[in-house]
């Protein structure tokens, strides 16, 4: 025990003298909570729209002002014709084009002409949600516009419906053209639909990302730094001197890990406090559940770090292997993109990656208040990973050649 | 006198390459034992086996009463080791390095401080105790590494080319330290390339191509080969070496 | 020149002998491209839905069967009213359709009081999933998917594969990794080991020594470029209808720029650890965060947006998207090309200045 303490004191002294590490360790949680959520933002807001208005009627002006007013859309410019708008889309100034054909406003009374939306599919997410938002906004412009002239629109349920989604109003437009009884039935049923969002009432994408970003902190501080630290002793040759002493491999490795574990948990607490103070995001579930998961996950990550450090001789190798592991972890675990969107084989594969469970736990506990009992499967999986990797880590360390 | 190191038929094989080839020798307690050999003769491999850093392919041996095959961790409790490459922590101070290595051997803080003060004062280095090792000149580093290796009063100290790249004056001082340690009863097992240093050992062995070709006191070897210096003894023996680095 | 060839040979041998590194350097880009291309997708293409209905009437069953027959939805069964929260909390479902008591009447228009027929209770923790779920559910429940007076066209990426979007980003990151990080570390290691001194006293000009170090990494990067492009074209089906000449030219410029970064980092420090941290923090992080590789740059808060203009990867990725996905011509990427070329010249000049300073 005293030996372990001596070694930990040594680690702390070295840590303090390191020109980069203390700054890194202080800066990291700040960046994670204060800067990254603003960047890791898949929120589709501010979709830039260009309108080709060949109609120049009251209707088209009304549509334009609705687009201008939408919180999701940003009106970039009005264009005289489609090619000039397309040129701007190609240059990336606008994400979508709304084309209002000549005579659209008048046609509403008879057979309506068709509007066109052209969305840039390079960013698939933006194209799909953006065109949905655009449709919805366009549709919002209709009811009050045409209600006085079109009896079919006097469907009060539709008009009053506060739905933010396009399709219910689509139904009403359909009524405009053909008054099928079936659609009337549908429109009624849908018009009386209400939507409740649980857990993230503000629909803030940042809230969704913050708990997951904290995992990146654990990956970096719990996995990356100890691995580099271990391999640097190897490269400098100082490990040779330690190897002739009676220090056991477990003690030596623990002395490297414990400081990072402590730092990591403290930083997690700091991150959680900052998230509450800055974004007003509290932990919906139990804080203990988060720390339990964090502890298990840190053990997994640092064991992986130790294994990689033990298998490589130089920092270059460690860095590359670690980077590869960390990248695949971050990209495949559902941290950035939903696991559900992956093809089935990839979804099965993510079950083999420890961070998948961690991402699940963090989001569930943090946002939805899920309990440990309800997540017992994920917790057990993490514990099993911790045990496996820790065992592997102790096997790969060889004191004697 | 009792033998503190005793080795019989020690062999280390790396694939087809036999780094250490069936060597046997004894070292008595308090002896300064010179372990000579050209580059690649197998000295470092042998030392690493004795220190428990490497496992012998075959043979038996004991260091400080512990078996080298089965009790390598017990050996480590009783030895000090100074490796060829300087390996104290450069980002720790002199005293912090001593606290670290003393602590590793289970010494109490007070005990370490008292010992460090005595040893560093003797070196006239006590006022530099808070200097970072990084900033200390090469000669001092070697003396310091020896002091750290000797801090926990080991029964045997292994020194692997301790005076490489050190100026003649510091080398003389360094050997003074070795003699004082030996006088205090510590066995010193030292490898070197300097034949004037070999002459300072109580006994020397000369390794060629993994085998021990000669083992005796320097005086006895000089008279046996009918030459004037250890240098000539070494050249006579090493001339037939097949391996080179 | 002969001497120079010798140096290049020496450096190439260094790399070629290190099989592990070679495998990693050539393998990682391929694996990353495949992973991104096949596994990772930002589209919402599966939503788990549960239903809560006091009476499983004909209308309710009809609605549920419409939902469960939509490929986008996976129907997770009926739940009791007090289980709604639990189903969402445990992540079993992302949405629960709560049918009203008099749903049948409401649908048939025979209800006495107009009221709410269906309530959608959504797990809003991922806003995008929630938004898509409510939109699609409503569409499905209303039974009017196709009838719309609006024609929607998705340009350039009609199947809306997010993979297309990632390929340029992967290239942008790989070149920085291989060129900047690997070269800086390999130069700094020679310094740390002292073998740089030996090279510097040789009659070869220092500049040539550095150039010789970089050429093998340049070659490796070209291999990476080709392998990623081939995978993108033939395995992922990225169109790549733009100007191939512009694509290759801008990639080579970007590779040279990355090498310049590597040289610059190596002049700043002589410790590998520091070189690693600098290239990790100053190069990798901005690329993943500020280049639009993963996250759209226009989502950045205004204060952070100017940063993207000084990140070379942003310009590279922009240009590559235009060339690979939108199929634009040489003339359309002149701005990006110009900026990258200017940055390259700037970086190399600074790096050389610093390099010469250190020698004096």
- pLDDT tens for residues A278-318? 988 888 889 999 999 999 999 999 999 999 988 887 777 78
Q: A355 near A219, Cβ under 8 Å?
A: yes
| The pLDDT value given to residue A60 | 82
Residues C341 and C260 in one domain: yes
ipTM of the complex: 0.81
Beta carbons of C129 and A338 less than 8 Å apart: yes
Q: Which residue of B has its CA nearest to A17?
A: B91
Residues C113 and C20 in one domain: no
Assess whether chains C and A touch, using the rule of 3 or more C-beta pairs within 8 angstroms.
Answer: yes
Please provide residue A238's backbone torsions phi and psi, each rounded to the nearest 5 degrees. Answer: -70, -25
Last residue of a domain, one of C89, C115, C142: C142
Instruction: For residue C142, name the pLDDT band (cuts at 50, 70, 90).
Output: low
Ramachandran class of B10: left when φ > 0, alpha when ψ lies in -120 to 50, beta otherwise? beta
C269 and chain A: CB distance < 8 Å anywhere? no
Residues C26 and C52 in one domain: no
Q: What is the mean pLDDT of residues C58-72?
A: 82
Q: B197 near B171, Cβ under 8 Å?
A: yes
> Percentage of chain C surpassing pLDDT 70?
86
Chain B nearest-CA distance from A37, in A, is 36
CA distance A308 to A108: 67
A13 and chain B: CB distance < 8 Å anywhere? yes
B83 and chain A: CB distance < 8 Å anywhere? yes
From chain C, pick out residues whose CB is under 8 angstroms from the CB of A205: 126-128
CATH of the domain at B186: 3.40.50.300
CA distance A213 to A392: 27
Q: What is the mean pLDDT of residues B131-155?
A: 90
User: Residue C108's domain spans which residues?
Assistant: 47-142
Q: What pTM was estimated for this model as a whole?
A: 0.78
The listed range with the strongest mean pLDDT (A360-369, C26-35, C156-165) is: A360-369
A10 and chain B: CB distance < 8 Å anywhere? yes
Chain B nearest-CA distance from A119, in A, is 58
Residues C33 and C64 in one domain: no
B48 and chain A: CB distance < 8 Å anywhere? yes
- pLDDT tens for residues C175-231? 887 788 888 888 888 877 777 777 777 777 777 777 888 888 888 889 888 998 888
User: Residue B199's domain spans which residues?
Assistant: 28-41+79-238
Question: Alpha helix locations (H) across chain B?
Answer: 43-50, 72-78, 94-104, 109-122, 138-150, 168-183, 195-198, 218-224, 230-238
A126-138 exposure pattern, b = at least 16 Cβ within 10 A, e = fewer: bbbbbbbbbbbbb
- Closest partner residue to A342 (CB to CB) among C40, C103, C290 is C40
Residue A384: partners with Cβ closer than 8 Å, 6 or more residues away: none
Q: B43 near B83, Cβ under 8 Å?
A: no
Pairing of strands A73-79, C47-52: unpaired
| The pLDDT value given to residue B40 | 80
Residues C121 and C191 in one domain: no
| The pLDDT value given to residue B147 | 92
Ramachandran class of C144: left when φ > 0, alpha when ψ lies in -120 to 50, beta otherwise? beta
- Does residue B100 form part of some domain? yes
| The pLDDT value given to residue A200 | 64
The residues with which A50 forms a beta bridge, in sequence order, are A77, A97
- Closest partner residue to A6 (CB to CB) among B53, B73, B104 is B104
Last residue of a domain, one of C107, C142, C177: C142
Q: What is the mean pLDDT of residues A202-227?
A: 85
From chain B, pick out residues whose CB is under 8 angstroms from the CB of A401: 48, 53-55
CA distance A270 to A285: 17
Lowest mean pLDDT among A322-331, B17-26, B108-117, C143-152: C143-152
- Does residue B63 form part of some domain? no
Q: What is the mean pLDDT of residues C111-116?
A: 53
Q: A363 near C125, Cβ under 8 Å?
A: yes
Residues C104 and C253 in one domain: no
Residue C67 in this model has a pLDDT that exceeds 50? yes
- Does residue C83 form part of some domain? yes
Instruction: For residue C17, name the pLDDT band (cuts at 50, 70, 90).
Output: confident
CA distance B209 to B243: 6
Instruction: For residue A172, name the pLDDT band (cuts at 50, 70, 90).
Output: very low
CA distance B62 to B52: 11
| Best CA proximity match to C161, nearest among C70, C72, C36 | C36
| The pLDDT value given to residue A293 | 94
Please provide residue A315's backbone torsions phi and psi, each rounded to the nearest 5 degrees. Answer: -65, -35
| Best CA proximity match to B76, nearest among A166, A251, A264, C147 | A251
- pLDDT tens for residues C222-277? 988 899 888 888 887 777 777 888 889 999 999 999 988 888 888 887 777 778 77
Instruction: For residue C163, name the pLDDT band (cuts at 50, 70, 90).
Output: low
| The pLDDT value given to residue A163 | 28
B105 and chain A: CB distance < 8 Å anywhere? yes
DSSP B132: B
| The pLDDT value given to residue A150 | 29
Residue A191 in this model has a pLDDT that exceeds 50? no
Question: Alpha helix locations (H) across B10-87?
Answer: 43-50, 72-78
| The pLDDT value given to residue A157 | 25
Torsion of CA B146, B147, B150, B156, to 10 degrees: 20
Residues C22 and C99 in one domain: no
Per DSSP (E only), the strands in A176-311 are: 193-198
CA distance C67 to C53: 14
Residues C32 and C105 in one domain: no
Average confidence score pLDDT of chain C: 78
Instruction: For residue C65, name the pLDDT band (cuts at 50, 70, 90).
Output: confident
Lowest mean pLDDT among A165-169, C160-164, C261-265: A165-169
**CA A79 to mean position of chain CA atoms:** 35
| Best CA proximity match to A126, nearest among A73, A69, A201, A66 | A73
CB atoms within 10 A of CB A227: 27
- Does residue C293 form part of some domain? yes
Question: A47-155: what CATH class?
Answer: alpha beta
CA distance C311 to B156: 59
Instruction: For residue A152, name the pLDDT band (cuts at 50, 70, 90).
Output: very low
Please provide residue C237's backbone torsions phi and psi, each rounded to the nearest 5 degrees. Answer: 75, 25
- pLDDT tens for residues A330-342? 888 888 777 877 7
Residue A51 in this model has a pLDDT that exceeds 70? yes
- pLDDT tens for residues A216-262? 889 888 888 888 888 888 888 888 888 888 888 888 888 989 999 99
Burial of A80 per CB tally in 10 Å (0-12, 13-18, 19+): exposed
Residue A380 in this model has a pLDDT that exceeds 90? yes
Say which residue, A278 or A321, is predicted with more confidence.
A278
Residue B70 in this model has a pLDDT that exceeds 60? yes
Q: Which residue of A has its CA nearest to C269?
A: A19
> Percentage of chain C surpassing pLDDT 90?
5
Helices and strands in chain A, H and E counts: 20, 5
Q: Chain A 232-291, CB below 8 Å of chain B: which residues?
A: 236-238, 240-248
Question: Alpha helix locations (H) across A280-400?
Answer: 287-311, 315-332, 344-350, 354-363, 376-396
Residues C186 and C138 in one domain: no
Residue C64 in this model has a pLDDT that exceeds 50? yes
- pLDDT tens for residues B72-90? 888 888 899 988 888 888 8
Residue A187 in this model has a pLDDT that exceeds 50? no
DSSP for A294-312 reads HHHHHHHHHHHHHHHHHH-
Lowest mean pLDDT among A162-166, C106-110, C312-316: A162-166
Assess whether chains C and B touch, using the rule of 3 or more C-beta pairs within 8 angstroms.
Answer: no
Q: What is the mean pLDDT of residues C49-53?
A: 87
- For an interface test with A, the pick among B51, B87, B133 (most A C-beta atoms closer than 10 Å) comes out as B87
| The pLDDT value given to residue C156 | 58
Instruction: For residue A177, name the pLDDT band (cuts at 50, 70, 90).
Output: very low
Beta carbons of A341 and C290 less than 8 Å apart: no
Average confidence score pLDDT of chain B: 88
Residue B203 in this model has a pLDDT that exceeds 70? yes
> Percentage of chain A surpassing pLDDT 70?
79
Beta carbons of A17 and B79 less than 8 Å apart: no
Domain count, chain B: 1
Say which residue, A105 or B72, is predicted with more confidence.
B72
| The pLDDT value given to residue A383 | 95
Domain count, chain C: 2
Instruction: For residue A358, name the pLDDT band (cuts at 50, 70, 90).
Output: very high
Residues C210 and C110 in one domain: no
Residues C128 and C209 in one domain: no
- Does residue C155 form part of some domain? no
Q: A124 near C160, Cβ under 8 Å?
A: yes
Beta carbons of A240 and B87 less than 8 Å apart: yes
B142 and chain A: CB distance < 8 Å anywhere? no
Residues C190 and C240 in one domain: yes
Say which residue, C195 or A36, is predicted with more confidence.
A36
- Does residue B103 form part of some domain? yes
Instruction: For chain A, give every domain's residue range.
Output: 2-40+204-396, 47-155
- Does residue C153 form part of some domain? no
- pLDDT tens for residues B17-38? 888 999 999 999 999 999 988 8
Residue C150 in this model has a pLDDT that exceeds 60? no
| The pLDDT value given to residue C110 | 59
Pairing of strands A47-53, A73-79: parallel
Instruction: For residue A175, name the pLDDT band (cuts at 50, 70, 90).
Output: very low
């Amino acid at each position: 025990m005293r030996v372990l303490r001596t070694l930990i004191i040594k680690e702390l002294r070295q840590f303090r003298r390191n020109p980069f590490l203390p700054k890194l360790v202080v800066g990291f949680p700040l960046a994670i909570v204060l800067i990254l959520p603003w960047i890791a933002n898949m929120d589709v807001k501010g979709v830039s729209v260009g309108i080709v208005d060949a109609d120049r009627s009251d209707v088209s002006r009304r549509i334009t002002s609705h687009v201008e007013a939408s919180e999701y859309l940003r009106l970039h410019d009005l264009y005289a014709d489609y090619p000039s708008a397309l040129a701007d889309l190609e240059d990336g100034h606008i994400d979508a084009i709304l084309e209002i054909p000549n005579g659209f406003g008048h046609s509403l009374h008879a057979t309506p002409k068709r509007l066109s939306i052209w969305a840039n599919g390079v960013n698939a997410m933006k194209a799909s949600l953006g065109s949905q938002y655009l449709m919805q906004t366009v549709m919002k412009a209709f009811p009050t516009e045409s209600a006085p002239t079109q009896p079919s629109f006097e469907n009060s349920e539709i008009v009053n419906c506060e739905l933010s989604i396009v399709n219910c109003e689509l139904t009403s437009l359909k009524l405009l053209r053909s008054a099928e009884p079936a659609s009337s039935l549908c429109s009624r049923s849908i018009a009386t639909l209400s939507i409740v969002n649980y857990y993230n009432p503000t629909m803030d994408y940042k809230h969704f990302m913050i708990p997951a970003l904290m995992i990146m902190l654990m990956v970096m501080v719990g996995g990356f730094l100890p691995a580099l630290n271990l391999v640097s002793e190897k490269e400098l040759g100082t490990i040779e001197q330690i190897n002739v002493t009676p220090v056991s491999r477990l003690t030596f490795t623990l002395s490297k890990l414990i400081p990072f574990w402590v730092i990591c948990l403290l930083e997690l607490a700091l991150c959680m406090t900052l998230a509450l103070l800055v974004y007003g995001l509290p932990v919906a579930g139990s804080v203990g559940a988060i720390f339990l998961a964090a502890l298990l996950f840190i053990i997994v990550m640092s064991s992986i770090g130790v294994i990689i450090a033990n298998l490589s001789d130089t920092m270059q190798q460690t860095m590359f292997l670690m980077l590869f592991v960390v990248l695949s972890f971050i990209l495949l675990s559902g941290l950035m993109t939903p696991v559900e969107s992956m093809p089935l084989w990839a979804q099965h594969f993510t079950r083999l990656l420890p961070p998948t469970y961690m991402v699940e736990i963090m989001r569930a506990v943090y946002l939805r208040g899920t309990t440990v009992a309800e997540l017992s499967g994920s917790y057990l999986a993490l514990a099993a990973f911790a045990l496996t990797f820790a065992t592997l880590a102790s096997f790969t360390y060889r004191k004697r050649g | 006198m009792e033998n503190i190191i005793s080795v019989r038929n020690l062999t280390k094989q790396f694939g087809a390459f036999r780094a250490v080839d069936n060597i046997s020798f004894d070292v008595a307690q308090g002896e300064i034992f010179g372990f000579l050999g050209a580059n690649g003769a197998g000295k470092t491999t042998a030392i690493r086996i004795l220190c428990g850093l490497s496992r012998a392919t075959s043979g038996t041996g004991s260091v400080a009463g512990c078996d080298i095959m089965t009790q390598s961790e017990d050996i480590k409790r009783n030895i000090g080791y100074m490796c060829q490459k300087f390996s104290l922590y450069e980002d720790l101070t002199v005293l912090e390095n001593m606290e670290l290595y003393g602590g590793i051997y289970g010494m109490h803080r007070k005990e370490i401080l008292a010992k460090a003060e005595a040893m560093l004062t003797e070196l006239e280095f006590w006022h530099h105790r808070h200097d970072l090792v990084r900033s200390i000149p090469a000669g001092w580093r070697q003396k310091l590494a020896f002091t750290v290796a000797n801090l926990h009063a080991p029964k045997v100290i292994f020194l692997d080319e301790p005076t490489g790249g050190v100026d003649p004056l510091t080398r003389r001082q360094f050997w003074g330290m070795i003699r004082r340690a030996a006088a205090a009863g510590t066995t010193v097992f030292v490898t070197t390339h300097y034949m004037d240093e070999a002459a300072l050992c109580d006994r020397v062995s000369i390794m060629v191509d993994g085998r021990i070709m000669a083992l005796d006191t320097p005086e006895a070897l000089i008279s046996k080969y009918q030459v004037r210096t250890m240098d000539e003894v070494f050249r006579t023996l090493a001339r037939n070496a097949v391996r080179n680095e | 020149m002969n001497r120079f060839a010798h140096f290049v040979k020496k450096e190439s041998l260094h790399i070629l002998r290190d099989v592990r590194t070679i495998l990693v350097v050539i393998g990682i880009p391929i694996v990353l491209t495949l992973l991104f291309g096949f596994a990772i997708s930002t589209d919402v293409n599966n939503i788990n839905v549960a239903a809560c209905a006091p009476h499983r009437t004909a209308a309710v069953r009809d609605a549920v069967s419409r939902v469960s027959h939509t490929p986008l939805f996976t129907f997770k069964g009926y739940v009791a009213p007090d289980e709604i929260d639990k189903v969402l909390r445990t992540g079993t479902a992302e949405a629960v359709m709560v049918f009203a008591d008099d749903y049948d009447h409401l649908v048939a228009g025979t209800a006495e009081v107009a009221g709410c027929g269906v309530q959608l209770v959504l797990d809003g923790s991922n806003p995008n999933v929630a938004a898509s779920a409510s939109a699609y559910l409503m569409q499905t429940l209303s039974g009017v998917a196709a009838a719309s007076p609006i024609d929607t066209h998705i340009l350039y990426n009609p199947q809306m594969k997010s993979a297309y979007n990632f390929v340029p980003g992967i290239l942008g990151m790989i070149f920085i990794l291989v060129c900047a990080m690997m070269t800086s570390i390999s130069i700094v290691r020679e310094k740390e080991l002292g073998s740089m001194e030996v090279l510097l006293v040789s009659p070869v000009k220092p500049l040539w020594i550095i150039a010789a170090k970089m050429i093998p990494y340049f070659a490796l990067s070209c291999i990476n470029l080709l392998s990623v492009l081939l995978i993108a074209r033939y395995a992922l089906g990225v169109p790549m209808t733009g100007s191939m000449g512009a694509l290759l030219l801008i990639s080579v410029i970007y590779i040279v720029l990355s090498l310049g970064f590597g040289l610059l980092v190596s002049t700043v420090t002589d410790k590998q650890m520091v070189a690693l941290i600098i290239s990790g923090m100053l190069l990798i992080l901005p690329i993943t965060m500020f280049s639009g590789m993963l996250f759209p740059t226009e989502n950045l808060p205004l204060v952070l947006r100017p940063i993207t203009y000084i990140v070379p990867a942003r310009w590279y990725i922009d240009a590559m998207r235009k060339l690979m996905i939108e199929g634009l011509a040489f003339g359309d990427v002149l701005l990006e090309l110009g900026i990258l070329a200017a940055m390259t010249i700037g970086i190399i000049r600074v790096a050389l200045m610093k390099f010469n300073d250190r020698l004096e």
